[in-house]
Structure 1
Amino acid sequence: MTIPSRRHPAAFTLIELMAVITIIVILAGLVIGGMGYVSEKQAREKAKVQIALLSKAIEEYKIDMGAYPGTTTAFGGTAATAASGDASQVLYQALFKEGFDYTNPNTPPANWGTKATKIYLTELDPRNSKQGWVNPSTATVPPANLKIIDPWGANYRYRTGNNAQNPDFDLWSMGKDGKSRPDTPNHAENRDDIRNF
């Protein structure tokens, strides 16, 4: 005689459910971690491209003006320093704002002996800043006090003259950590800096 077996309805055991949940959590962690890495790599590449474009514009400025932006020849005899974000504002004015003012019929050309007469980097226009180089502005005349910012929202650093490591100029982003020691190249705070020197 055969004993009828009791059939249990098909279901997952607790161990099977825990295994599936563990696999899902591990996969989600890998995806989220990978997205952070990709986002950081994208920001670094964007900063490298921006530094290359800024460097090219600075060199064009020097060819036209005979000196780099912020040297004693321009900006009332004050040299650009990296100690504050003011050097970033000096670059914005030299590479975009002065050329805009010269070509704008609402701003009379006066005292243009030491000022740029053309726009060297149109991407710095705050009215059409798709790259996020400067804070957007809807004013018809762009403000003069804008600063050029890196992908992490900090000012680009720039120095020239005796302060520079390069014979011409230094240009850099402090990177994700926002810290930099430009005079000490091997310092730990410089690990994530993106530089032209």
Structure 2
Amino acid sequence: MLLHPPISVRQRSKQQGFTLIELLVVIAIILILAGITFGISRGVQNAQARAKAKAELAAISQGLEQFKSKMGDYPWTPNVATDGQINLNAQRLVQALRGDLDWKYDSSDKVDGMTNTTRSGVLRYIEVDRFQTATTTSTGDTEVIIDPWGNPYVYDYSREQAGWDNAGYLLYSEGPDGESTAVQITDGGILTPAIRNDDANIDNIYLGE
């Protein structure tokens, strides 16, 4: 009767060593696949967020057009949308879309800006409640419409901005990084390449793009 020869200690070590190597290889493969899956998932989520932002910008734009058809112009903002002004301009945007802005006149009965007031008989130009909103320390109890990354949409239509012929308003999301430098347009209503390609603006999502 033939018996298997006893396995030597050296042979057992080799078998255990191969098993450990195989285990490490499997772990490495799992980590690689997990990284790939995470990257793909993150890319899909980012694409979905950008698509949502574009759709919301288009919806806000429709409300602004209705405001203009009723009031004769887009809602004015007091200053260009710099970092300290973005929340206040976003507040004015919500007030306008809810029908809570009216023209302000000076002593000569000339339009001198806009004022926050509830106008009787005015319907809302857009249902703000359909958007995700938030309040900020600078806007008090007034809500602002926020993008998929939790930042206010940037709106600017400043009649006082030097060198601007009011070809249109600015409306955009600051994108995933939540940052932007002061975005301005040229006399022809076009964003300059230098501003568009600034590191803080490179992921901005502009209306109509």
Shift of 1:57: 0.9
Larger strand share, 1 or 2: 2
Distance 1:150 1:111, change over 3 A: closer
**SS at 2:200 equivalent:** helix
Question: Counterpart of 1:157?
Answer: 154
Q: Residue type matched to 2:172 in 1?
A: W
**RMSD of aligned Cα (Å):** 3.2
Which blocks of at least 5 consecutive residues in structure 2 are unaligned?
A: 102-116, 185-194
Aligned to 1:67: 73
Report the secondary structure of 2:58's partner residue: helix
Divergent runs of 4+, >3 A? 5-12, 161-166
CA distance in 2, matches of 1:57, 1:86: 18
Distance 1:116 1:194 in 2: 35
Distance verdict in 2 for CA 1:165–1:195, change over 3 Å: farther
The 1:35/1:111 distance shift into structure 2, 3 A limit, reads: closer
The yes-or-no answer on 1:169 pairing with 2:175 is no
Residue 48 of structure 2 corresponds to residue 42 of structure 1: yes
Aligned to 1:191: 202
- Displacement of 1:48: 0.8
- CA change 1:111–1:22 in 2 (3 A) is closer
TM-superposed deviation, 1:185: 2.6
* Cα distance in structure 1, aligned partners of 2:141 and 2:121: 14
* Unpaired runs of at least 5, structure 1: 72-78, 100-109, 137-142
TM-score (norm 2): 0.67
Say which SS state the counterpart of residue 92 (structure 1) adopts.
Answer: helix
Tell me the distance in 2 between the aligned counterparts of 1:121 and 1:170.
18
Superposed CA offset, 1:97-126 (max 9, x none): 639xxxxxxxxxx873xx88111211x12x
**Separation in 1 of the partners of 2:121 and 2:33?**
55
Residue 146 of structure 1 is matched in structure 2 by 143
Describe how 1:27-106 pairs up with structure 2 within 5 A.
Answer: 27-70=33-76, 79=78, 81-83=80-82, 84=85, 85-96=87-98, 98=100
* Cα distance change of structure 1 residues 120 and 111 upon mapping to structure 2, 3 Å threshold: closer
Tell me the alpha carbon deviations over residues 8-51 of structure 1, each in whole angstroms, 9 at most, x when there is no partner.
Answer: 99987111111111111111111122222122111111111111
Percent identity, aligned pairs only, is 36
The C-alpha deviation readout for 1:118-138, integer Å capped at 9, x for no partner, is 11211x12xxx5x42x139xx
User: Counterparts of 1:111 and 1:196 in 2: how far apart (Å)?
Assistant: 28
- Which is higher, the Rg of structure 1 or of structure 2? 2
Is the CA contact 2:196–2:202 (under 8 Å) kept in the aligned structure 1? no
What displacement does 1:166 show?
A: 6.5
Q: Give the structure with the higher percent helix.
A: 1
Q: Once structures 1 and 2 are overlaid, which stretch shifts more, 50-59 or 1-10? A: 1-10
